[in-house]
Amino acid sequence: MERTIVLVKPDGVQRGLIGEIIHRFERKGMKLVGLKMISLDDAILDEWYIHHKDKAFFGNLKEYMMSYPVVAMLWEGKNVVVTIRKIIGITLARQAEPGTIRGDFAMSQQYNLIHASESLEIAKKEEKLIFSDSEIFDWDKLDHSHVYTKEELG
């Protein structure tokens, strides 16, 4: 099973959408294996957004991500990287598809509520930046046999 990182960004925390966001992934059948509130700092964000460091919006992005705490989650499931990216919708939230999180709750390109890892490789890197081993829980989700077939569970 894959694991991926989700952050409820400062605007999502301020707007009271933490529960709504968790609810969407839970209802889908994904397994939550890590959860915490954290204040991001300069060092984490320089590494996190290394691919945006030359963009004009980089300074604003970092300031915004440090403005209030974020809620970090680690979700597990089959192909969760791609599936979660679909559920959150595109970056430019006002054009995101209705039914996606950004499509239903946001209007901005920067204040787009939520982050989800872009690829499995990036998910592994982000997991290490946020969670220590003792903060990740390998528990048995008893409804898995109703969420996946035996073949899918392997």
Residues with Cβ < 8 Å from 34, sequence gap 6 or more?
72, 73, 74, 127, 130, 131, 135, 136, 137
Binding-site string for ligand CMP from residue 30 to residue 69, where x marks contact by CB under 6 A and - marks none? ---------------------------x---x--------
Binding residue (CB under 6 A) for ligand CMP from 33, 112, 127, 130: 112
Q: Closer to ligand CMP by CB, 31 or 115: give it.
A: 115
Q: How far is the CB of 142 from ligand CMP (least distance, A)?
A: 32
Contact 83, 100 (CB under 8 A): no
Catalytic site includes residue 146: no
Does 100 interact with ligand CMP (rule: CB under 6 A)? no
In whole angstroms, how large is the CA radius of gyration of the chain?
A: 15
Q: Which of 44, 68, 110, 135 is the binder for ligand CMP (CB under 6 A)? A: 110
Order of strands across the sheet that contains 31-38: 31-38, 70-77, 2-8, 114-116
Which residue from 91, 95, 119, 145 is in contact with ligand CMP, where contact means CB under 6 A?
91
CA-angle at 96, arms to 94 and 99, nearest 5°: 115
Specify the residue, 59 or 154, whose C-beta has the smaller distance to ligand CMP.
59
Catalytic residue among 51, 52, 115, 146: 115
- Contact present, 20 and 105 (Cβ < 8 Å): yes
Contact residues for ligand CMP, defined by CB under 6 A: 57, 61, 91, 109-110, 112, 115
Which positions are catalytic?
Answer: 115
